[in-house]
Amino acid sequence: MKVIKANEGNVYEAQNHFNMWGIRKFGPSDGSKSVNVSISEFLPNGGASMTASNKERIYCVLRGSITVHDENGQAHVLDAGDMIYIAPGEKRDMAVNGLVAARVLVIVTDC
């Protein structure tokens, strides 16, 4: 077992993201074999550009509201308590809705 306290983690900048910062809470350096868990803080007008990853991703909105677009342009509006699964290879972009900063729990797994 490993406990991660609220004030623990490592701040990082994510590639292809803007007006945000991430706090990696748990990952391989902590003993994980295939899971990274982070909390991303997105300022108003923050988001991520259209990209894909070879990893599974789950976004769970903890505060605020975001819109995730898939590569076909379909918009998925997520509010606090909502989550979305993004499969490996699936392209997405993301933007904060409104003037409330969004906090998103991000879970990334190696396939």
Residue 2 domain flag? no
DSSP reduced 3-state for 30: helix
Q: Which residues form the domain of 38?
A: 10-109
The structural domain count of the chain equals 1
| CATH number of the domain that residue 46 is part of | 2.60.120.10
Phi, psi angle pair for 8, to nearest 5°: -105, 155
Instruction: Tell me, yes or no, whether 65 lies in a domain.
Output: yes
Sequential pLDDT tens for the chain (111 residues): 889 999 999 999 999 999 999 999 998 888 888 999 999 999 999 999 999 999 999 999 999 999 999 999 999 999 999 999 999 999 999 999 999 999 999 999 986
Structure tokens at 19: 């007006």
Residue 1 belongs to some domain of the structure:
no
pLDDT of residue 111: 62
Q: Which pLDDT does position 31 carry in this prediction? A: 83
